[in-house]
Structure 1
Amino acid sequence: MSIPSLLSRRAALLAGAFAVAGLSRPGLALGAARANPVPLPSADQIRQDYQQMVDFGPRLPGNANHVKFVDWMKREFVAAGLRLGPCESYAYRRWEPKRWSLDIIDGDQRHAVPTVAYFVRSQPTGPQGVTGPLVYAGRLNPDGPASLPDFPKGSILLFDAELPKMHLRQIVHPHFIHVRGETDADVLDSLYHRLWTMPSFQMDDLAARGVAGVAIIINASSAMIAGNFSPHASPYKPKVPALFIGQDAGDTLRAAAKAGRAAHLTLDAQWVEGDVPQLTAVLPGESEEVMIVDTHTDGQNFIEENGCIALLQLARHFASLPAGQRLRRSIVFAGWPGHMSGDMPEAPGWALAHPDLMKRAAAAFTIEHLGASEWADVPGKGYAATGHNEYMNWPATAGPLNDFVIDGIKRHDLLRHAVEQGPGYTTGRVFHNSGIPHVACIAGPNYLLGIVPNGHMDKLDADLASRQTAMIAEIIKQADRTPMADLKGSDSSLGADPIAGTDSSKRTQCQAS
C-alpha cells in the first residue's frame, strides 16, 4: 500500500528506513498531536492500569490469559498512535498445573498441609496422585542430596532446603554505587536479594531409585511461598513430582515421618503445545536512529510484569506530545515473551529477530518490577509489610546514562535505589553486551512470582511506581538529546559479548483480533 500524500516529510523520509526493518507505513504511526497531551501516570492512574493487567489473570507463557493480554497491548499501542510490526511468535510446550496437594495419612484420616507450592515443570502424578511412606531424607542441596537413608520404593521423601541467600555483594558489579537510603555499609550488611528464585534441585537420581514424590521444606513461611511459580526460569524438568512446603509446617511433617506415617501427594499438570506471541510497536521520530524500550509480557501478578504497563504509559505520553516536544529519535517498544519458560530466547530472541533495529539503536531501556513495597517474615507479625520499599537496582552503561540515573534517583527522591555499572543483573543485558548503551531497573520482592487471587495488589506502592515511571521518561528524554557517540562513552565492557545465533521466531499477523 502506498504512503498517503498527506504524510509529513518526516514520515516520508522514514518510510524507506523502516521498510528495511519490516516496519511498513511508518507515517500512520505518527498520530496527530493532541490538544491536551497525555500526562505521565499519577499514583491513581498507576493503580488503575496495573489492576487492568491483573484482571487478565496469571499470564504464563502462551496460556489464554497471556495471549489475550498481548492482544490487548497491541490494541492499546495502536490506539495511542503507534504502528505495530513486525510481530513474531515462538513454538512452546508449556507446563500447566491444575491441582496440587499434600496429605498426611493417619489411619483412616487424612490431614491436609494447608499451603503447598509446586516445583515448576516437575513430573505430574495425574489426578489420582501418589501414596507412599513419608521418609525424612535430610537436607537437599542444589546438586541433590549428599546422602540418603534407606527407604522402600514408592516412598515420598521429605527434605529441608534453603532459599539462596544472595548477598548484595554477589548480585551487583564491583562498581556498585549506592545512591539513596541507608549507607553503603547498612545496605550491604543487611539487605539480601529476596527474589523467590529457587535453585533447580537436581532429583533425577531419585526417580531412578523409585521415589514416588518429593516434599521440600523451605526456610520461608507458608504465606510467603503461597502460589509461587518457581523455579521460574529453569529449563530443568524433574522426573519426580515435587512440592514446596513452608517452614511452619516442617515440624509436623518431620514428626509424621518419624512416626512412620504415609503421605498422599498430588500434582496434576499437563503439557500443552502452542505458540507464544512477541510484539513490537514503533513511534517514528526525525532520525533513523532508534531507542528501544523493552520488557517481557508474561507474568503472574501486578509486579510480574508491570514493565508492560510502563511501556504503554510511555507510548501514550510520547505519542501525544506536540511537534516541538516530540523525541528526535524513533522509539521502539518491544514486548518479548518467555521469562517464565526456562527455555525460550527472551530478549536475545527479540534482538535476533530485529538485527536492523539493533544496528540503529542509540540506547535501550529495560523496565521491570516498579512500585514494589517490601514484605518479609517479621518476628511477632508473620508475613507482613516492613514499611520500606523494596531495594531496586539500576544497571547502567558507564557514561551519560549512568549519570542520568544517579541524578534521577536523587531528583525523584527514590530511597533504597542504587546504580550498578552495566551490563548488570537484568533480563536486558543483551543490549549492553551487543554495544547498545543501556539502562535497566529491577527489584526482587519475595512475592514476585506468586499467583494469588488479588494479584498481590495490596503490596503495590503506586506513588513509588509513579515516580519511577516519571524518572524513566526523563532519562529517555535526556538520552534522546545526547549524541549516540557520547552515549557509548568509554565503557570497556560495552559490546563485549555481542548477540549471535539464529532467529527462531516466526512472523505472525500484527493486527489485534
Structure 2
Amino acid sequence: MPERETPQRWIDRLNTLGPRRSGNDAHRMLIDEVATELTALGYRVERDTHTFERWDAAEDAVSLTIDETRVEVSSAWPYSGETGPTGTTAPLMLLAGRRKTWASAAGRIAVIEVDNVEAPASLLLNSWDGRLPFDAVANPVISSELAGTDLTAAREAGVLGVIAVWRGLADHEARGQYLPFTRPHQGLPAVWVPESAGDRVVAAARRGARATLVLDATRHPDASMDTVWAVSPGTGPHVDESVLVVTHSDGGNAVEENGFIGLLALARDAATIPHDRTLVFVLVAGHLRIPAVTEHGQATTAWLDAHPELWSPDADGPTAVAGLVIEHLGAKRRRDEAPGTDDRTDAAEPELLYATTREFDALVRAEWRDAAPVKPGALIHLGEGEPLFEKGIPAIALVTGPASLLAETAHAGVDLDLLARQVDSFRALQRRLADAPDRTAFGTVRRPGRLRKLLAAGRIAWFLLRRARRAR
C-alpha cells in the first residue's frame, strides 16, 4: 500500500465530500466507495440497512438575533428541534447552575452556559501500569455530555428554545461542533454560541431582551444508511475463531472518521496473505446517530446483535477471540486553518489507545511505536470499541480525541506520517492476532462490577460538585 499516496487521496476525498452526517448523501457515497474498494479486493460485501428519520440543518438556516442585531452562532444543536423559516421570537432568560429550573423560563428562550471542563484523565480512564498518556482531558465531546442538559425536560416545561454559550473553548474550536450527538430528537430548537459572544448574550438574558432564534431544520422520515461488512476466511486450524476489524463511516471531518483507510489496508493484507483465523471487516453506520440503530451502546452494538454467527460462542459460526477498532488516524492536536493563515498545527494529539486485557497491553507495547495503552474506565470506554468490551471480546482500539474531533470542517488536522505508522501497527497486530497459536494468549476481559461503577460515578459527581462550588 503506498502509504503516502492512498491516504492523501482519501483525506482529500473526505474534505471534498464534506460532513458525513448519518444518512446524508455524502455519508452514503463514502459507504458505497469503500464497498467498491472491498469488492475490488475480491470480497463479497454484505449490507445491513438502517432506516430512520434524519434531521438536518444547513448552515444558512441557523441564526440568532438579539435586539435586532445578529449574534454569531457556532453550530446548531443536532436533533434538537425546529423553528421553521421565520424562527421563534421571545424574551431571553438566563438559567445558571447545573440543575436547571426550566419552568422559570416557560414562554422564553433560555440561555445556559456550558464549560469545556478540564477533568483529570483518571476520572475517565484507567491504567495497566499506573500511568496515563496525559494528565487531563478537556474535550467538548465530553463536556457537552457532562453538562447534562435535558432539552426534552425544557420543552415539557414550556421553554421555547435554548441558547448554549461555550465557556473555556476557543471560538475557532467551537465552530461547527456537532454536539451532543448521542441524543434522540428532543423537539426543542437549540444552538451554540461562541465564548466571544457569551458575555453579550448573558447580559441580554439578564435584562430579558427579546431574541429571534432561527433553526430551520428539516426532518427526512425515510432516510437510510448501510453498515457494510466482509469476511476473509481463515485457512488454518483456528478457522472457527474470528478477529473483528471495526470502524465507522459517519463523521464531520477528515479525522472523524478516516478509520476506513486502515480497514481497507488490513483487508488488502488479508486478501493477499493466508491467515489462520477468520477476519471480519466491519464499517458500521450510525455512530453519529446512535439512537437510530440501537438503544444501548455504540453503532457496532447493532451489528453484533444482528450477526452473532460471526462472533458469539452461542451461535453456529466462528467465535470472536479478538478485535481491532480503528478510529481517528493521524489526529493532530488542532485543526488546520484555512489557507492564508499563520496558525501552526504540527503537534500530534496524544494517542488514546485502549487495550482491554493485560496481555494486549503487552502486545501493543511490543508492536506500537511509543505506545502508552490504557484500560477502559469503570464507566466509560470511548468509541466503537465499547461494544466489544461489553461482549467480552479482547480488543485494541484507537480513539484519539482532539478538540475539533466533532467539528464540521474541511481543515481537520491529519498527520499522514503518523497515520501511516498507525496503519502499519494495526497491520502488524492483525497478523499477530490472526496467526497466534493459542487464543489464551489474548487474555480475558474483566468488566467492572457494580461497586467499581458506583465509586467511579461518585468520583465524577464529586468533581463536578467541587467545580460548581468554586464557580459560585
Taking structure 2 as the reference length, the TM-score comes to 0.81
> Do residues 290 (structure 1) and 252 (structure 2) align?
no
Q: Tell me if the contact between 2:92 and 2:208 (Cα under 8 Å) persists in the aligned partners.
A: yes
The offset of 1:387, in angstroms, is 4.8
Q: Pick closer, same or farther for the CA change 1:466–1:253 going to 2, 3 Å.
A: same
Q: State the partner residue of 1:477.
A: 431
**Deviations along 1:482-509, whole A, 9 cap, x unmatched?**
134333435544999xxxxxxxxxxxxx
Q: State the partner residue of 1:15.
A: none
Decide which of 415, 426, 434 is 1:461's aligned counterpart. 415
Q: State the partner residue of 2:63.
A: 101
Q: Pick closer, same or farther for the CA change 1:315–1:373 going to 2, 3 Å.
A: same
Secondary structure at 2:334 match in 1: strand
The offset of 1:375, in angstroms, is 2.4
Decide which of 175, 188, 196 is 1:226's aligned counterpart. 175
> Do residues 448 (structure 1) and 386 (structure 2) align?
no
Secondary structure at 1:138 match in 2: coil
CA distance in 2, matches of 1:310, 1:195: 26
* Contiguous gaps of at least 5 residues in structure 2: 313-317, 336-340, 451-472
The offset of 1:467, in angstroms, is 0.7
**Deviations along 1:45-79, whole A, 9 cap, x unmatched?**
32222222332222121122211211111111011
Task: Answer 1 or 2: which has greater helix percent.
Answer: 2
The offset of 1:405, in angstroms, is 0.7
The structure whose Rg is larger is: 1
Q: State the partner residue of 2:456.
A: none
Q: State the partner residue of 1:348.
A: 301
The offset of 1:302, in angstroms, is 0.5
CA distance in 2, matches of 1:493, 1:266: 45
> Do residues 276 (structure 1) and 225 (structure 2) align?
yes
Q: State the partner residue of 2:108.
A: 155
1:66-81 matches, within 5 Å, as 66-81=27-42
Secondary structure at 1:390 match in 2: coil
Q: Tell me if the contact between 1:232 and 1:341 (Cα under 8 Å) persists in the aligned partners.
A: yes
Secondary structure at 2:23 match in 1: coil
> Do residues 299 (structure 1) and 251 (structure 2) align?
yes
**Deviations along 1:216-253, whole A, 9 cap, x unmatched?**
11112322111111101223x33421111111111222
CA distance in 1, matches of 2:242, 2:388: 13
Q: Tell me if the contact between 1:479 and 1:487 (Cα under 8 Å) persists in the aligned partners.
A: no
Q: Tell me if the contact between 1:372 and 1:460 (Cα under 8 Å) persists in the aligned partners.
A: yes
Amino acid at match of 2:181: H
The offset of 1:164, in angstroms, is 4.2
Q: State the partner residue of 1:364.
A: 323
Q: Pick closer, same or farther for the CA change 1:351–1:177 going to 2, 3 Å.
A: farther
Q: Pick closer, same or farther for the CA change 1:403–1:174 going to 2, 3 Å.
A: closer
Q: Tell me if the contact between 2:76 and 2:215 (Cα under 8 Å) persists in the aligned partners.
A: yes
Decide which of 207, 211, 214 is 2:159's aligned counterpart. 211
Q: Pick closer, same or farther for the CA change 1:42–1:233 going to 2, 3 Å.
A: same
Amino acid at match of 1:388: A
Q: Pick closer, same or farther for the CA change 1:386–1:79 going to 2, 3 Å.
A: closer
In terms of mean alpha carbon deviation, does 355-364 or 426-435 score higher?
426-435
CA distance in 1, matches of 2:154, 2:357: 47
**Deviations along 1:57-103, whole A, 9 cap, x unmatched?**
22121122211211111111011222212x21122112111311111
Decide which of 91, 116, 127 is 2:51's aligned counterpart. 91
**Deviations along 1:242-300, whole A, 9 cap, x unmatched?**
11111111122233344553211101112212222111112233042322101111111
Q: Pick closer, same or farther for the CA change 1:130–1:492 going to 2, 3 Å.
A: closer
CA distance in 2, matches of 1:495, 1:429: 16
The offset of 1:371, in angstroms, is 0.8
Q: Pick closer, same or farther for the CA change 1:194–1:418 going to 2, 3 Å.
A: farther
1:171-250 matches, within 5 Å, as 171-175=124-128, 178=131, 187-188=134-135, 191-197=136-142, 198-199=144-145, 200-219=148-167, 220-235=169-184, 237-250=185-198
Percent identical pairs in the alignment equals: 27
The offset of 1:340, in angstroms, is 0.8
> Do residues 394 (structure 1) and 349 (structure 2) align?
no
Taking structure 1 as the reference length, the TM-score comes to 0.75
> Do residues 116 (structure 1) and 71 (structure 2) align?
no
Secondary structure at 2:84 match in 1: coil
CA distance in 2, matches of 1:425, 1:208: 31
The offset of 1:383, in angstroms, is 11
CA distance in 1, matches of 2:79, 2:41: 38
**Deviations along 1:410-446, whole A, 9 cap, x unmatched?**
xx3x4xx521235843322322332322111111111
CA distance in 1, matches of 2:253, 2:102: 38
* Contiguous gaps of at least 5 residues in structure 1: 1-38, 179-183, 377-381, 497-513
Task: Answer 1 or 2: which has greater strand percent.
Answer: 1
CA distance in 1, matches of 2:363, 2:343: 34
Q: Pick closer, same or farther for the CA change 1:248–1:476 going to 2, 3 Å.
A: same
CA distance in 1, matches of 2:165, 2:356: 40
**Deviations along 1:429-474, whole A, 9 cap, x unmatched?**
322332322111111111111112x2x24x1111111111111111
1:34-53 matches, within 5 Å, as 39=1, 41-53=2-14
In terms of mean alpha carbon deviation, does 440-449 or 278-287 score higher?
278-287
Q: Pick closer, same or farther for the CA change 1:132–1:490 going to 2, 3 Å.
A: closer
> Do residues 312 (structure 1) and 264 (structure 2) align?
yes
Q: Tell me if the contact between 1:195 and 1:445 (Cα under 8 Å) persists in the aligned partners.
A: no
CA distance in 2, matches of 1:292, 1:366: 8
The offset of 1:358, in angstroms, is 0.2
1:251-270 matches, within 5 Å, as 251-258=199-206, 260-270=208-218
Q: State the partner residue of 2:467.
A: none
Secondary structure at 2:357 match in 1: coil
**CA RMSD between the two structures:** 2.8
Size of the aligned set, in residue pairs, is 421
Secondary structure at 1:272 match in 2: strand
